[in-house]
Amino acid sequence: MRPTSASHRMESSLAFLSSPFRLLENVTCLFVELSILLISIFPLPISSLSLSLSLSLSQIY
């Protein structure tokens, strides 16, 4: 026999976590965490970035 209070708490928790605002917040947090992780794994110095942009622009023109 399941207590009704536990299932009610679970349902209200799921409803809270599945609200559109919470979903947007979760996706935004995941995106920020992924960006920080990628930047820390593959750092790109500013000089390399400007050099690569210069080379790519020179190939276009």
pTM of the model: 0.43
- Model pLDDT for residues 32-60, shown as the tens digit of each residue: 999 999 888 887 666 655 656 665 656 65
Q: Name the residue range of residue 26's domain.
A: 4-60
Residues in Cβ contact with 22 at an 8 Å cutoff, skipping those fewer than 6 apart:
16
End-to-end alpha carbon distance in the chain: 75
Structural domain count of the chain? 1
- Predicted pLDDT of residue 33: 94
Mean of the per-residue pLDDT values of the chain: 71
- Predicted pLDDT of residue 8: 57
CA gyration radius, the chain: 23
**Under 8 Å between Cβ of 16 and 22:** yes
Classify 7 as helix, strand or coil.
helix
Q: CA–CA separation, 52 vs 4, rounded Å?
A: 62
